[in-house]
Structures are given as C-alpha cells and as structure tokens.
Structure 1
Amino acid sequence: MKLTIIGGGGFRVPQIFTAISDPTAPARVDELCLHDVSAERLSAIRGVLDALAKRSPRPPRVTYTTDMDAAVTAADFVFSAMRVGGLEGRIADERVALDLGVLGQETVGPGGLSYALRTLPVARDLARRIAALAPDAWVINFTNPAGIVTEAMRTELGDRVVGICDTPIGLMRRAVHAAGGDAASVTFDYVGLNHLGWLRSITVDGAERLPDLLADDTALAGIEEARLMGFDWVRSLGALPNEYLFYYYFQREATARIRESTQTRGEFLLAQQADFYRDAAAMPVSALDAWERTKFEREASYMAESRPESERTSREASDIEGGGYQAVALALMAALTGSGTSTMILNVANRGAIPELPPDAVVELPCTVDADGIHPHSVAPVTGDMLGLMQSVKAAEQLTITASANRDAALAWRAFAVHPLVDSVATAKLLLERYREAIPGVDAALRT
C-alpha cells in the first residue's frame, strides 16, 4: 500500500512514520511517499526518519519528491498536510487581526478565513490531480482550516475525502478516562464543526456518566477543556466543549492575552522550527534528538497563549500523551481496507445529520468506518446557542469557499463581516485589505 503525504517536510511527519512503522500498526504501508515544495525541509525530515528507521523492525520504504503528480500517482491513501504560505503566513494571519483589535488565531476567526483563502486554490488543484491520477485513493485531510478545506475538496473527490483533527480525539480520551470507561464500553454524542464542537453525552456500559462527571471537581481537574474554561461554565453548558471554543466563549480574554504575549503562537513556532530545520540540515546524525526536543516543547506549550501568564507551563502530562491524529488516521486506513471496524470523530458531509445546516456542509460527527466506507452516526438535535454558533460560523465558511471559487472579493469581505469573532463590517473590510497586502497568496486568490 502506498501512502503519500502532501506536506511531507512538515514537522509532524515523523509521528506518522513512527505509527506506521510499529509492528502492531493496524494498517501496513509498504511505501511512504513524502512530497513537499521545499527540498530543504524534506532533507531535514529525512535525517529524522533515517534515525527512526534504525529503531524499527519494519519501517516502510520512504521516497521523497517535489513533483506532486509523481507523489499522487498510484497512491492508495493521500494525507493532505499542507501549510500554504508557511509559518510566515500564519504570523500574518495572527498579527493583522491583533493590530485591528480582533482575535488573531490561525484557524479560528479572521485568521482562519485568511488561511483558507490562500489554501483553497492549492487544495482544489490537489483534489483535481488525485481525481485524475489516483481516482480510487482515499484522501485524509489534515490541512487547516480542516472543515473548510475538506468541504472544498469534496467538489472533486466526494465522499473519498474526509477530514480529521486531534482535538476531539484528546477530549474523548480525557473524558473516557475521567468517566472510568474504555473504548470498548463507551458510547457518546459529539457534534459540531472543526474546532467548534461539544461532547454532550458519554455512557459507560449503557449508563450515562456525563452529569456525574460534570459535578465532580476531581474528575474535571483531569480534563484540560474544563480547566481552561472553568468548571462553572462547562456545568452551565451541560457538555464538554472542544478547547477551541475558548476563543468564542472568552473572546475578550483570549484576545487580550495574545496581544499581551511577547510572541504569537506562529512566531514561537517559526523561531523554534527554524532552529530545528537549521540544526537538522547541518548535523543529520543529530536530527532525531533535535526533533524530539522540539516536539516536547511544541506540545507542552499548545494553546499556551490562551492561558494566563502564570499558567502557561501548566499543561498536564495527560494532555500531551501519545495517540493523536496519526493513530486515528491509521485506524481509519485499516478500517477502510477491511481490517475491522472503528468508531471515530470525523469531518464529513452533513446530509441531514443537523437539519438546520446545508446538506453539503462539512460537520464533525461520530462515524463508524468499515470496508464499505464511512457511516456518520445520528446525533441528538442541536438547538439554541450551540446551533446558532454553528450556523453563523458555517455561513462564514461557505461564503469563503464561494468567494475563493469565484475570485469574488466582495463575498470574501462578507465572509469576514458575518463571522461571530469580527465585530464590525468596517473592521471586516480592513481585515481583508490588510491580509491582501500582507500575504501574496490571499491577494492572488482574489485577483481576477
């Protein structure tokens, strides 16, 4: 089986390599093909993988290329893990918004829409190439903003593209542990959009455990999302929110904390990863050590900018332990190729699961996956404030997709203006203008 990663010079690729090299991995990969626009980044990652291969009894054959068509041809699975515009683009996503007093975050709010505008043309081109050169391939999208990108790629690939994210995975792992269950004994109700969702029910051996969990301070102390947003707030919701909802529920506090920080998240990662890629290129024999040090710092500081200064090194070990999206991606691959059945949270077409959203909208739902495909679960009705937030964010997402497809700057302005994290039509216009000035890919995507 051939697995291709588009964005193969990315920092998280060694985690995927480790997962597929494990003799107990649920899916067997014979060839791992890494594609990147940067030969230098591929070379740095190659140093890490060469060292990891020496530790593994069955590493896959790894190929490296900057030719996208060669990478895609004959692939059985394609992971889309691109970062169009690099970390420099991410920093502009953050800083342009912050300079206008608006939340600056790479996937949430105006930063996410800017990221989408420059990414969608590349994602649609990738989807067309896969449809032509590997029409039977499954595409697993990690590229952010994952919900928007997956929805746009569906135009070419239909149900053969699915989005995954590791934040619901982490929430479920923590909640299951706190509820005293395991994967075999638990059923659950989770609903939302990418980076905007709620765990609304968790049953262990048929008994509902969420109310007792929410009432228990000791149990909630083991759940990062509850610590981040406050026990009283999650009890008020009657649900456990995805951690990215912090930016919606605590917009004022999140914006102030990020503005007060000496670095945005993008600036931190650029400085950190520049050191890694430089050191890995200079000393390939030490590339793995450099990568492991950088990985720990990266994960321990995840969403640190959203927490008060005094708590930015307080992330619990349980919040960053193994698993993650690479494990879910392998389980997804294994199920689709006939090696058992898996239940996981995925970004898929709505098709009436939430009747108040368009049927073609990509939403985040529990799904059962087997050799016949991906089967979304029915979920309880979504009402009130949860539904309203989903509808307003999805409207902004779909306006962005249409604006990109038609190169329509007026629609892009409207997308910024209707997003719940942008508080003024005039500010929305300034946001779009300044993103076009700061990021060539955003301007190019809207030029006719």
Structure 2
Amino acid sequence: MTNKTGTNGLKIAVIGGGSSYTPELVEGFIQHYDQLPVRELWLVDIDAGLHKLNIVGALAKRMVERSGLPIAVHLTTDRRRAIEGADFVSTQMRVGMLDARGRDETIPLRYGVIGQETTGPGGMLKALRTIPVLLDICKDIEELAPNAWLLNFTNPAGMVTEAIQRYSNVRSIGLCNAPIGLLKWLSGKYSVPTDRIYAEFVGLNHLHWITRVEVDGEEQIASLLRDDDSYSAKNVPQQGWNPEFLRTLGALPSYYLKYFYMTDQMLAEQQAALLKDGIRAEVVKRVEDELFQLYADPALAEKPKQLELRGGAYYSEAAVNLMVSLYNGRNDIQTLNVANQGVLDFLPDDACIEVNCVVTKSGPMPLPVKNVPLQAKGLIHAVKTYEQLAIQAAVTGDRGTALQAMAHHPLVPSVNTAVALLDEMLEANRPYLPRFFA
C-alpha cells in the first residue's frame, strides 16, 4: 500500500497520541511489523496535552530505535497534517481530560446515582462532549484521507461509533478491550490458546452477554456459570454475582452489567471508595503520574509492566489485531462495534452493536447470533433507546432531547433526578458543550 506521501508502507495517525496507552500500541506495531509495515506513525495531541505527548513520543522513538525498524515517529498538534494520506486513524481521546471524568463520576453520586465514565449520567456527558469533536475529526478524514479506516477506542465507544457511522462517510469501526480481556481470561482458565476458544458476544459496548463459550468445540457456558465470578476488570469493583441468578440467566454477563443488576451494592461501593481512595479518576491520575515518571526516563526503551495497572490492558493488542486483519484480509473473527444491519432483530439497522465479526479486507462482517436471552433483550433495547437520544442531543445541542436521554437511562431513578442531574452536569461541562450554550 502506498500513501499520499509517496512512500511504501503504511501511515498511521493516533489522535490522543499523548495517552499513557500509546507505548502498548507502539509495542504492537513493532511486534507485528512483518504483517503491518508501518512507515510513518503520527502521534497527535492538543496543546494542553503537549507535555505528555513529548514524553510518550520520546519513549516511542526509543522503542522504535531499539527495534531497528524503519518506522518514522512524528509528534504534532497539527491534526490535519497527521491525518493527510493516512491508511489508519486511531482515536483514543478524552475531551476535558481527567478533570471532566472526575465530574462525571462525582456529580451523580451526590444524587444517589451510579457515577461511571462510560455508563449512566457520566457516560452520557462524556458522549455529549466527545461526539461533536469526533465528527469534526471525521470531516478532516473525509477531506484528507477518504480511504482510511477510523478505529475508535474513544469511550463511550459504541455511541461514538454509531454517531460517526450515522453522521459521516468515514469507514469506522469501534472497539474495546473487554472482549479480548475475556478471551485472555478463558485462555488462562482452560490452559489453551485463544484461537481454540469461541465466545459469542451479544449486546452493546459495555453492555454485553457471552451466550456461548466453546473450547475445542465443546460448550462450556453451563459449567462456567456454575463455577466462579473471578473475571472482572481493574476499573470495575469486584462485587460477586448471585450464583442462582447467574445460572438461570444462562449467559455470562459483562462486568459492566453489575451496574445494572447490582446497582445498590455497586453504588454503596462507589460511595465508600470515594471516602477511602477517591474517585476512579483520581486513582487513574495517580497511576498516570507514576507512568509518565517512568516514561520520562531516557534509559527506558520498552513498555513498562506498570501500564497493566491502568485498566485498559490488551486495548492496543485489539487495535493492532484489527489493523493487521483489515490490511491482510485475514478473515478471522473479532468482537467489534458495528452497525446492526438486522443481526439483532429488535434494534434499528443503524444501531451500533458489539458482536463477533469476520474481518475481511473490505471491512467487518457481523456474524448472526445464535442465542439472545429474552431477559437481555429488554435491557439492550432500553439502553439503546437512551443512546440514540443522547447521540441526537450531542449533535443538535437540544436540551429537551438530552433530558429524554437522561430520564430514560435505566440507572436514573426518576424524572426529577434526571432534571436536576442534567442541569448541574451541563453547567459543569459548559466549556465543552458549545452547542448547548450557543
């Protein structure tokens, strides 16, 4: 493949290149260079993130230099220059940075509502801040790299991807580290490589159920549901599932579903954590500060082990796997966020869902799902209704639509709470919501 710069090999632009995750991405490019010949890697950030970009970028250059590979690493705040002629654009950004995440997590708690950055009121405000910015980036891609694939990791990934697919012409795919994390856990549990495991994912981003698990062709879901609840994530509290509920559910719920199925316990744990360690945003900030101190060491030329504490383990592995498959047409199966197109017959065709797909050279093809538990359908439909309203609100800046989205989120207990939450959270995010305060 030749990009517009006239050089052989691939040009990749990473929007949010100053992220603490970037060294994992660079490690992936180095390890998969034979299948993904990256010639130019452009790390892009905004002026407020320039300090971090310079630290991470210097580490990326040392990693490439140590590998001996001919990858040119560029650091820039000029997004258009980075995007021009790119083959892949990856987005891993946080509009408002960790301060905004802190507000997303704390304000709902004051109303007795789950405070989380990708679901509930916090996730909604993150979507309202993020979607207009991503759509603006898409205009640049349409103009400067119309054939590029946009791989979106920016949360809430499903909502952001749906907005891009609905309001732009960019070829885009959303992805998350949760499915690959589940496969890694199963791989360790059964002591087999992941290519001998098939797990069927059904649902939305951060709202999925695993309805089949086959190891070497043998179904394991029933024994898994009788077993334990050891699978969780570093960024979600470790409350245990009710064994009878899990067994009769007939599917393994994503750890994010604890916010819906065990709301009282999760809320109590969040409120206790707020008093003890602070909100998750503060914990992440401490981890990030330590990581950037490590990254700044001129002797460091590899991804440090401490990055796994960040809560997004395997995210870059998922990104590189997807790029390799799209570039080479591997026709392998990956769990991605794509347009529904009839896979879940109770959702609109343009709804973004998280399901297994065959990744071809021309893009992902969603696979039919064998089993969608009746008890999961109602929650999927309710959350998708909220998501589609929130996407519409993000694009229009219409307060009434935003209120409908907030009031119809299953984690918001009443209209009065929705009104009060929306007023306070919009005001707290005023600098990032020009469409609401025009």
Structure 1 distance, partners of 2:304, 2:271, is 29
CA deviation after TM superposition for structure 1 residue 172, in Å: 2.3
Task: Say whether 1:421 aligns with 2:434.
Answer: no
CA deviation after TM superposition for structure 1 residue 445, in Å: 3.4
- 1:255 aligns with 267
Q: Which amino acid aligns with 1:354?
A: L
Per-residue Cα deviation, 1:219-256 (whole angstroms, up to 9, x for no partner): x3653479743360422322111111111111111111
Structure 2 distance, partners of 1:23, 1:205, is 26
Structure 2 distance, partners of 1:236, 1:227, is 21
Identify if the C-alpha distance between structure 1 residues 255 and 227 changes in structure 2 by more than 3 Å, giving closer, same or farther. closer
Contact persistence 2:17–2:53 (CA under 8 A): yes
- 1:125 aligns with 136
Q: How does 1:74-153 map to 2 (within 5 A)?
A: 74-153=85-164
Contact persistence 1:353–1:378 (CA under 8 A): yes
Identify if the C-alpha distance between structure 1 residues 213 and 383 changes in structure 2 by more than 3 Å, giving closer, same or farther. closer
- 2:6 aligns with none
Q: 1:285 aligns with which of 281, 298, 309?
A: 298
Q: Which amino acid aligns with 1:26?
A: Q
Q: How does 1:15-414 map to 2 (within 5 A)?
A: 15-22=24-31, 26-37=35-46, 38-58=49-69, 60-158=71-169, 160-179=171-190, 181-215=192-226, 217=227, 220=228, 223-224=231-232, 228-230=239-241, 232=243, 233-261=245-273, 262=276, 263-274=278-289, 276-277=291-292, 279=293, 284-285=297-298, 292=304, 294-299=306-311, 324-414=314-404
Greater mean deviation of Cα atoms: 103-112 or 229-238: 229-238
Structure 1 distance, partners of 2:90, 2:283, is 26
For structure 1, list consecutive stretches of 5 or more residues without a partner in the other structure.
303-319
CA deviation after TM superposition for structure 1 residue 158, in Å: 4.8
Q: Which amino acid aligns with 2:108?
A: A
Greater mean deviation of Cα atoms: 176-185 or 257-266: 176-185
Structure 2 distance, partners of 1:97, 1:425, is 14
Identify if the C-alpha distance between structure 1 residues 103 and 224 changes in structure 2 by more than 3 Å, giving closer, same or farther. closer
Q: Which amino acid aligns with 1:285?
A: P
Structure 1 distance, partners of 2:363, 2:309, is 37
CA deviation after TM superposition for structure 1 residue 23, in Å: 5.4
Question: What CA RMSD, in Å, does the superposition of the two structures yield over aligned residues?
Answer: 2.4
Contact persistence 2:41–2:72 (CA under 8 A): yes
- 1:316 aligns with none
Q: Which amino acid aligns with 1:374?
A: P
Structure 2 distance, partners of 1:272, 1:213, is 33
CA deviation after TM superposition for structure 1 residue 133, in Å: 0.9
Structure 2 distance, partners of 1:65, 1:210, is 47
Structure 2 distance, partners of 1:378, 1:75, is 32
Structure 1 distance, partners of 2:271, 2:54, is 35
CA deviation after TM superposition for structure 1 residue 272, in Å: 3.4
Q: Which amino acid aligns with 2:285?
A: L
Identify if the C-alpha distance between structure 1 residues 288 and 100 changes in structure 2 by more than 3 Å, giving closer, same or farther. farther
Q: What secondary structure does 1:140 align onto? A: strand
CA deviation after TM superposition for structure 1 residue 431, in Å: 1.0
- 1:308 aligns with none
Per-residue Cα deviation, 1:65-99 (whole angstroms, up to 9, x for no partner): 10111111000000011100000000000111111
Per-residue Cα deviation, 1:160-214 (whole angstroms, up to 9, x for no partner): 1000001111112223443565444333321110001011112234332221333
Structure 1 distance, partners of 2:286, 2:417, is 30
Contact persistence 1:47–1:288 (CA under 8 A): no
Structure 2 distance, partners of 1:178, 1:284, is 36
- 2:435 aligns with 445
Q: Which amino acid aligns with 2:198?
A: T
CA deviation after TM superposition for structure 1 residue 441, in Å: 4.0
Structure 2 distance, partners of 1:23, 1:408, is 45
Greater mean deviation of Cα atoms: 337-346 or 10-19: 337-346
Greater mean deviation of Cα atoms: 154-163 or 246-255: 154-163
Structure 2 distance, partners of 1:229, 1:239, is 15
Contact persistence 1:75–1:137 (CA under 8 A): yes
Identify if the C-alpha distance between structure 1 residues 293 and 227 changes in structure 2 by more than 3 Å, giving closer, same or farther. closer
Contact persistence 1:344–1:366 (CA under 8 A): yes
Identify if the C-alpha distance between structure 1 residues 240 and 39 changes in structure 2 by more than 3 Å, giving closer, same or farther. same
- 1:313 aligns with none
Identify if the C-alpha distance between structure 1 residues 45 and 115 changes in structure 2 by more than 3 Å, giving closer, same or farther. same
Q: What secondary structure does 2:67 align onto? A: coil
Q: What secondary structure does 1:266 align onto? A: helix
Identify if the C-alpha distance between structure 1 residues 346 and 411 changes in structure 2 by more than 3 Å, giving closer, same or farther. same
Q: What secondary structure does 2:66 align onto? A: coil
